[in-house]
Structure formats: structure tokens, C-alpha cells
Structure 1
């Protein structure tokens, strides 16, 4: 009979190889794909007379200073640059399958991944659709049997071990994607502190390259939490800090309505690459409706709002 130590090693290895799971961020306007496929959409929205530039609104924050931006290309995970390149290539291949095409950039070029991320977010206007697709891509990165097996073999009987294992695997396999990380203690369900069950991303590369809090929440935070909570049976709460660029992964901590509301109420980032246009693109269900207020200057990002029905009116009214 296979002993527990071997099974633990096997699952850790599986997660390490396949746990390249950031979800998806928006892209700066300097990338080729963004220029060809997305700028037209967001520029048309931002030129609307109903559009209110977020930089004139009280609802924005500057984010981490550009002067202290790390040299992300020279930040590598514990397994080294070569293995990081393999992780990038695997993840990009899976993303390209879902998006339907690939970037012309080399397979190990991070900018190619960003171009595909822009394509994903520009293709689907419904934020819930983006969340669901991101969730499904995470599922596709793992063998179909693994999440369910992990749930009953590890997450339920050994919750603390499972949380520490996933925090460690995220550090090993996710540094190339997110930037410098470190294991830490974190709050867990029941009010206790989980030793080494957390992972602190010191300044998230995806968050910084996206420049968009809505993309962070709808294509990374929510679908990643859903994957671990629903598929792996392991509670996870991700807490991004848009002022500093940090993101705290807390394995063993279930998301609450209050914690999710804090993330959804975050202001826009002042250097949003679409000048707020992406918020209007998402949830625009047809060309027969318009928004009463494309970018409300007295509330949080439109893309984050829960109830959109009262924001939509027929175009002929």
C-alpha cells in the first residue's frame, strides 16, 4: 500500500508543476496585441461625452511609486530561471488554447502572456464571464482528478498541512508570475493564526502591469479563491493592497462578505491603461443599452458593482 509520505510527495510535485495559476491581468498600451485589439474599444468609450475621466475623480489611488518598481525580469523563483521559463511556457500554452490564438512573441516572453491576458479581458464584456473563464482555465491546468482527490485526501483530513503545502507550492511556482514572495503566518478560520499558511507577494507584477483594480478582482482574486474553495476544498482569501502592490494569500481563511466588499470598493488606479474604459466594456450587454453614468465619480469602480440593473437603460429613452 502506498505510504502517506509518498502520496504527500506526489501531490506536492503535481501542484508544483501545475500550480502556475495567476489568473489574468490587463495590459499596458505599449503591447502590440493591445494596440490592435483593445485600444479601439476603450478609446471609443473614453471619448464619449458621458465619460468622466477617473483622474478627475476622488475615486482613484496612485498605487506603488514607479520610481521603486522592481526589475521583475531578474526576479526568479527558488527553482531558478530555467524552471520559471517552463512554468511560463506551460501557462501561456493553456491560456492560448482558451483565447484561441497566441502572441507572436517568444514562448518564454512575459509580455506575450500579458498580450493574451488583454485579449481575454477585451473579448468578454461580462465580468462574471471573465471570472468563470478564469476559473475554468485554472481547472484545465490540473489533471481532472486532482482537485477532488486533494479535497478528500488532504484538505479535509489535514487542513493545516494542506494550507502550508499550497503556500509553499505557490512560492516555488508563482514567483516568476507575481514577483518576490515570502511565506508568513496568517489569520485563519476561527480567529487563530496559521503558521506558514500565508504567502505575501511583496509587489505583484500582474497587479502592477495591469494598472486596473477591476481586472485584479474579477480575473484573479475571485476566480482563484473560487477554485481553491470549491474545487480543492481549501479555503483561500486573497487580500490585494493597491497602495503598496502587495497581495496576501491566506490559505485556511474563508472569504467573507465584508472582506470581499473591501476589495470591490477599492478606487481605480490613476494610471489605468484604458483611462477607465475597461470598466465600461465589461458588463455592456448589447449596443442597445447605455449606461446612465459610465464612470460614476462618487462610487467605486462600475465593474465591481453587484447590482447593475438600475445602471442600464434602453438607448431610445
Structure 2
């Protein structure tokens, strides 16, 4: 979003003033499309066509849309509570809430209590703790790094982890040689990012721990690329992630409406390599 002023101009009508939003004003112009003879029909349908023009300093705002509603079944609730328990065991932080709200409450407290580098280590440990070592060892033997393994991980993600990340779908990845593989998972709106509304939670407690877990314990590189404009995300299996120092996600300021903004800095994902 861009800072500026908001004005609505409609042909044949007075200018409309719109209150400024908390994330900063916007500059826009609104006009009816069509001839003078079609004005009555346009008014009767109550349709207004808007043209937005941006200017001035860039600011970051979370998309203002209706929050996604989830109806977790009993199996998904068990998975959510189990992961929440593992995070509590690894971090020493507890919550009185249950379900997904409880998970978000815990990771929010983790974000407030620890530096970014410690957050990454704690959540990585929680993910490791969630899966028994013998299963990880077996998976490394069966799922050796290959194109077919990357496709398997991509195909299984929407089935096994929809409860954690929200609706997602498998997409094709085009390689340098022009070949295509179904190794990309597209998250339409990440449930973790939408629920926490915090860039730092995304980068330090989801992106880095997930990349490390899949890469180190399952042997397949994975790159997670969030889109903070619409809260979508792309997960590409078989792709080596960039170093944290070169990752654009860690230069992203947090949302103006970040739920955790008061107890920490605007840059929730601030890059630190020491506790």
C-alpha cells in the first residue's frame, strides 16, 4: 500500500471523502464507466468502478479481508494439539488455550520471549521432537533425494498438512532446461501467517525451521517463499534455500496491524545470528 490521500471522484456527482485507515491513507479516484445515458442504469445497480493510484512512501499492510474460517475434524485437532504440546515442551512456554488458537498463542509468546535465532532453534527442535527418530531414519532410507522424492513430498503436503498451513495445491515447477515437475506446493493463504499476522512468526518459526527439518532430517532441500502482500506462499521441494543473509523475507518489515508489534520492533523478522 502507498501513503497518500483518498478521494473518490464520480462523474456527475460530488466528491466523496473517505476516512483514513490505520495503515495510512490511500489515493484513489472513482469514476463511472459508460455514457451519460447509461448513468441511471449504473446508479440502479449501485456499481462503482474504481481506479487506484499509488504515491508517496511505501508502507506494509496486512490484506483487509474476512478471516478464513476452518472446521478442523477430530484427527486434525489431535495433530494440532500434539504439535502445540511439542512446542510447549521445547520452549517451556505454556497456554491455557486449546486447538489452533492455543498453537498460535504459544508461538506468539515464543516470539515475544526469545531472539529470532533462538526462536528458529527452539521450533526446529520441536519439529524434530514431533517425529520419532526411527521414523526419520526409515524415511531417509526410503526417500533418498531425487526428483521423484520431491514430487512425493509435494503431493503429500496438501493431504497431510492442510490443518497446519491451510488450503494448498500442487503446481508445476519449470526447470532451467525447460522440463516441468510437480514439486511446488502453493498455499492460497497461509493459516499460520493469517492467524498470527506477524512476519517474524512466519520467517523465524515456520520458514527456517521447516526448511531445516526437511533438509537435515529428511534429506530433501526445500525452499519456502512467502508472499506478504496476499499471505500466500510457495514451497518448492528439491530447491536449495538461499542463505538467511540473502533471503528477501528477512528484509520485510512487519504489518502495521501486527498483533505482536507492541512488545518488539517493527521488523519482527530482524536478522540476527546470535541470541
TM-score, scaled relative to structure 1:
0.62
Within a 5 Å distance, the mapping from 1:278-293 to structure 2 comes to 278-279=264-265
Root mean square deviation of aligned Cα: 3.0
Q: Compute the displacement of 1:167 (Å).
A: 1.8
Structure with more relative contact order (C-alpha pairs < 8 Å, separation 6 or more): 1
**Aligned counterpart for 1:110 among listed residues 64, 89, 100:** 100
Question: What is the count of residue pairs matched by the alignment?
Answer: 223
1:207–1:216 contact (8 Å) kept in structure 2: yes
1:187–1:253 contact (8 Å) kept in structure 2: no
**Whole-Å Cα distance in 1 between the matches of residues 180 and 264 of structure 2?**
37
Structure 1 residues 218 and 186, CA gap change in structure 2 (3 angstroms): same
Q: Compute the displacement of 1:225 (Å).
A: 0.6
Q: Compute the displacement of 1:220 (Å).
A: 0.9
Within a 5 Å distance, the mapping from 1:270-281 to structure 2 comes to 270-275=256-261, 277-279=263-265
Within a 5 Å distance, the mapping from 1:126-165 to structure 2 comes to 126-156=115-145, 159-165=146-152
The gaps in structure 1 that reach 5 residues or longer are 1-53, 280-294, 296-300, 309-317
Q: Compute the displacement of 1:100 (Å).
A: 3.0
**Which is greater in Rg?**
2
Equivalent residue number for residue 75 of structure 2: 83
Higher helix share: 1
Structure 1 residues 276 and 163, CA gap change in structure 2 (3 angstroms): farther
Superposed CA offset, 1:6-53 (max 9, x none): xxxxxxxxxxxxxxxxxxxxxxxxxxxxxxxxxxxxxxxxxxxxxxxx
Structure 1 residues 192 and 121, CA gap change in structure 2 (3 angstroms): farther
1:60–1:268 contact (8 Å) kept in structure 2: no
2:93–2:109 contact (8 Å) kept in structure 1: no
**Whole-Å Cα distance in 1 between the matches of residues 154 and 222 of structure 2?**
10
Superposed CA offset, 1:166-211 (max 9, x none): 22332112111221111111256x5665532111110111101212
Structure 1 residues 118 and 195, CA gap change in structure 2 (3 angstroms): same
Q: Compute the displacement of 1:127 (Å).
A: 1.1
Q: Does 1:235 align with 2:221?
A: yes
Q: Does 1:92 align with 2:78?
A: no
**Whole-Å Cα distance in 2 between the matches of residues 274 and 260 of structure 1?**
25
SS of equivalent to 2:161: helix
Q: Does 1:218 align with 2:208?
A: no
**Whole-Å Cα distance in 1 between the matches of residues 250 and 177 of structure 2?**
23
Equivalent residue number for residue 176 of structure 1: 163
**Whole-Å Cα distance in 1 between the matches of residues 210 and 177 of structure 2?**
22
Q: Does 1:249 align with 2:235?
A: yes
The gaps in structure 2 that reach 5 residues or longer are 1-21, 25-55
Q: Does 1:123 align with 2:110?
A: no
**Whole-Å Cα distance in 1 between the matches of residues 218 and 249 of structure 2?**
23
**Whole-Å Cα distance in 1 between the matches of residues 216 and 74 of structure 2?**
32
